[in-house]
Structure 1
């Protein structure tokens, strides 16, 4: 509601680019929506709710540590009442108490030129505060990611139009004589009431900050519990902070796109031990967990407040500044669980090639193959996990998600076939037999981590994938040998990519330790494989 009001109000300002008459005409529609009993009631309720929730959430904090965007939004929010409160009393207050309509002529005459700078700053601060909140809410939805460039253009362009409009209108109004009916009595009433409201607002702000400070000071005497992270990293914490706050206080990277408001699932963790002492999920947390189909033991770190020792496994990697510097600031140092597509590529009959050719020729051929395939994988958005002799293991979807990762992997297979053809076209007479590649793809949930990074002294090791999905992809790659095919892909990959194979009966294989057979498709050629955009 508050954003809808700002949108309408600022759009009205922008009409000043054309004329004062256009501003007045636009204000008639603006006031028709908001300056009535229903509109003002809804607006007032939204404002009190917004401020109340902000103060309540601030008072619940157990630490002042927060991401920079959250800090910026908080600071801007604290500034807004300082200038907005007098503005509200100058418009709605004078109209209600003295019947002075807040026409553009009257308001521009009061604000120009002494109040022009403060009013412009207020407009920018309000808009920026709103844009930060909207961005970190909407970024959770795929539709927003598709229109993000247009949204950014709107976020920058719209307030510039509003500034241009109201300043141009004020300059035009300054050239006219306007009999102002605002007296010193009116101004005295305006500022007296505005300062009283400001005293209450900022008194509550100071009180909420003191509550946080008191909790931090009292925590030194509170009961301490142990929180165990992957890699046997054990931290001690007081009872009270949420698990997300515990991570932030101790410098443990923890994803939280929505800022810990239970609007997303990025802070989710798997509680491995100690979950029986946690309170059951509240409605907001339960709704998120149900929406993502969370399994047993999965909770939101921003909502659980451990009261006893607990062991957890973060399930989403954190993209933080610390992650760029390596070490414990990198979420992959601790290991994260997420859906990915694993690809294995193998050069067939490599042992026979090494036995019948000169070593330098073999090394040249191997490098040509490894460079070509790995370049394709990276170009399509994949991550080369490791080289295993003449084999390559790659991960797709680490940053893009399961659906996009599966599509990237399938598009890479087409390019890898082109690499195979190019190498065979000029392989030379020393390699009489055609070189053949074999690929295996499978999608599923894997643990991604920097294995061996505990003693790396700040230097990052490469990320690797662990889990059943890796073993299955390797098994599918080996399945090519029996049928002489180029690629074997599980039904899970095609389903994730949105590809159907009508009329084609999948093959099945029974994997060790599995009760159900794995369904897969084998391809001799992939040139005609239609991968959705």
Structure 2
């Protein structure tokens, strides 16, 4: 424990061997003292006339054997350290040139990653040198011909990142001849510090449910509100949203101006995460309706919100820098699809769009709902989603006994953006094209609030406030 605590501190290297000697001697001395003390106590409890000469001779022999073993262990350790030091000084040394970090001479046998750590050269190694992350990769500029070929794990990882021929993993190569390498991913973090190990433990790919929400027509609202009133309204809005998310076990990952993204499923089962995400979305809509009642005439137009929910595999981890500190993030296709579902809510006149992947994961069915068959660029198969015009409609539609096959509406949504551009589309997100129904018959539309029903063949209005 002391070794793993102190190994990253400066100056510990020269005290490591004495500490190792103490770690070996202390338990041995304790055991010898325990044995000798026990025998002494046994002799004290016996009457002097009971102790025979044979017992005294046996006791002295045991003490002699204990001393012999003790001094033998100490001598063996000293001999080991001495032989190792002589071997290091007499063994042929190799020269390793680290581009930008000087030249080092050392005995062969260590990996390049171990050399980085020994000489204090900044580097990245999120997996700790187990050939899993490829962050320790280096470019071999000279001496690569003398390196052994990549092993199965290294070769598989290099193929996965499409690495050039001269790129190798520093944790897997043990140079026997002179070498020159260049670090490709330098890091200011020491990979042996607890902070780095904690970051590595949080990185992973898991099944999550992502909720993306955004206020409708926020540009029009901000143009008619005083700055102080607008910021106060946003503070109140985000406070209500945070309470709705955390009450159901979710985590808010990011705020996008007048919108936010939350994730569910960091703990618990996929079914539980889908159920809590849908329940949180209903509470979000109710909270927005409560804000409309509270602010009333102070708002030039009522608040409306669009929510997209999707379940699937996503990558979670943490990023850290000096200006922003440490932040948990969630990225992946699941996040992008949830964003596109939120964009589609304003086109189909629904407050909530839930993908059928989330419906399926929740283990519940919803009666009387309309399923939208949405085509998203970048995906071969269309995405089916269920729309709800209000929180009461979502609550009333729950049917644990099963539901009939919903009506499908063909719609097209723009490709999922990799990043959200502030101010795009007037609402903090990039605008999506208006979906058009491809059937000539009138499907069962999603029931809008304060908006009359429209035929499937008609285009949705371009005004997001409607």
TM-score, length of structure 1 as denominator length: 0.47
Distance of 2:255 and 2:84 partners within structure 1: 51
Query: In the alignment, which residue of structure 2 is the partner of 1:428?
Result: 295
Alpha-carbon offset, residue 462 of structure 1: 4.5
Alpha-carbon offset, residue 347 of structure 1: 1.8
Map Cα deviations across residues 211-230 of structure 1 (whole Å, 9 max, x no partner).
Answer: 77678879995322549xxx
Distance of 1:411 and 1:487 partners within structure 2: 15
Query: In the alignment, which residue of structure 2 is the partner of 1:444?
Result: 314
Conserved in 2, the CA contact under 8 Å of 1:382 and 1:395? yes
Distance of 2:339 and 2:125 partners within structure 1: 31
Query: In the alignment, which residue of structure 1 is the partner of 2:413?
Result: none
Alpha-carbon offset, residue 207 of structure 1: 5.1
Conserved in 1, the CA contact under 8 Å of 2:314 and 2:332? no
Distance 1:503 1:474, change over 3 A: closer
Distance of 2:20 and 2:362 partners within structure 1: 45
Distance of 1:529 and 1:246 partners within structure 2: 62
Distance 1:210 1:310, change over 3 A: farther
Higher strand residue share: 2
Distance 1:87 1:281, change over 3 A: farther
Is 1:516 aligned to 2:445, yes or no?
no
2:238 to 358, 370, 393: 370
Conserved in 2, the CA contact under 8 Å of 1:81 and 1:198? no
Distance 1:468 1:83, change over 3 A: same
2:215 to 327, 347, 369: 347
Map Cα deviations across residues 112-150 of structure 1 (whole Å, 9 max, x no partner).
Answer: 59xxxxxxxxxxxxxxxxxxxxxxxxxxxxxxxxxxxxx
Distance 1:361 1:225, change over 3 A: same
Conserved in 1, the CA contact under 8 Å of 2:216 and 2:305? yes
Is 1:186 aligned to 2:52, yes or no?
no
Conserved in 2, the CA contact under 8 Å of 1:247 and 1:253? no
Distance of 2:251 and 2:51 partners within structure 1: 68
Is 1:338 aligned to 2:204, yes or no?
yes
Task: Choose 194-203 or 373-382, whichever is displaced more.
Answer: 373-382
Distance of 1:487 and 1:499 partners within structure 2: 15
The 5 A counterparts of 1:422-501 are 422-425=287-290, 426-430=293-297, 431=299, 433=302, 435-441=304-310, 443-445=313-315, 448-450=318-320, 453=321, 456=322, 460=325, 462=327, 464=329, 468=333, 470-483=335-348, 484-489=350-355, 491=357, 499-500=362-363
Higher helix residue share: 1
Distance 1:349 1:86, change over 3 A: same
Please identify the structure whose Cα radius of gyration is greater: 2
Distance of 1:77 and 1:391 partners within structure 2: 57
Alpha-carbon offset, residue 253 of structure 1: 7.0
Distance of 1:218 and 1:380 partners within structure 2: 66
Alpha-carbon offset, residue 368 of structure 1: 1.3
Distance 1:310 1:211, change over 3 A: farther
Conserved in 2, the CA contact under 8 Å of 1:508 and 1:519? yes
Query: In the alignment, which residue of structure 2 is the partner of 1:110?
Result: 39
Alpha-carbon offset, residue 246 of structure 1: 4.6
Alpha-carbon offset, residue 301 of structure 1: 8.1
Distance of 2:87 and 2:124 partners within structure 1: 23
Conserved in 2, the CA contact under 8 Å of 1:318 and 1:331? no
Distance of 2:71 and 2:172 partners within structure 1: 35
Distance of 1:362 and 1:427 partners within structure 2: 15
Distance 1:502 1:244, change over 3 A: farther
The 5 A counterparts of 1:64-463 are 65=7, 78-79=24-25, 82-83=28-29, 86=32, 110=39, 183-206=55-78, 209=81, 222-226=94-98, 240-242=109-111, 245-246=114-115, 248-249=117-118, 250=120, 254=125, 268-269=133-134, 280-281=150-151, 296=160, 304-307=172-175, 309=181, 323=195, 338-339=204-205, 341=208, 343-357=211-225, 359-377=227-245, 384-394=252-262, 411=276, 414-415=279-280, 417-425=282-290, 426-430=293-297, 431=299, 433=302, 435-441=304-310, 443-445=313-315, 448-450=318-320, 453=321, 456=322, 460=325, 462=327
Query: In the alignment, which residue of structure 2 is the partner of 1:143?
Result: none
Alpha-carbon offset, residue 190 of structure 1: 1.9
Distance 1:471 1:412, change over 3 A: closer
Q: CA RMSD in A?
A: 6.0
Conserved in 1, the CA contact under 8 Å of 2:124 and 2:185? no
Alpha-carbon offset, residue 74 of structure 1: 7.0
Please list every run of 5 or more consecutive structure 2 residues that lacks an aligned counterpart in the other structure: 401-466
Alpha-carbon offset, residue 424 of structure 1: 1.8
Distance 1:226 1:472, change over 3 A: farther
Conserved in 2, the CA contact under 8 Å of 1:347 and 1:436? yes
Paired residue secondary structure (1:367): helix
Paired residue secondary structure (1:517): coil
Paired residue secondary structure (1:346): strand
Distance of 1:180 and 1:518 partners within structure 2: 94
Distance of 1:517 and 1:112 partners within structure 2: 83
Paired residue secondary structure (1:516): coil
Distance of 1:364 and 1:223 partners within structure 2: 64
TM-score, length of structure 2 as denominator length: 0.52
**How many residues were matched structurally?**
353
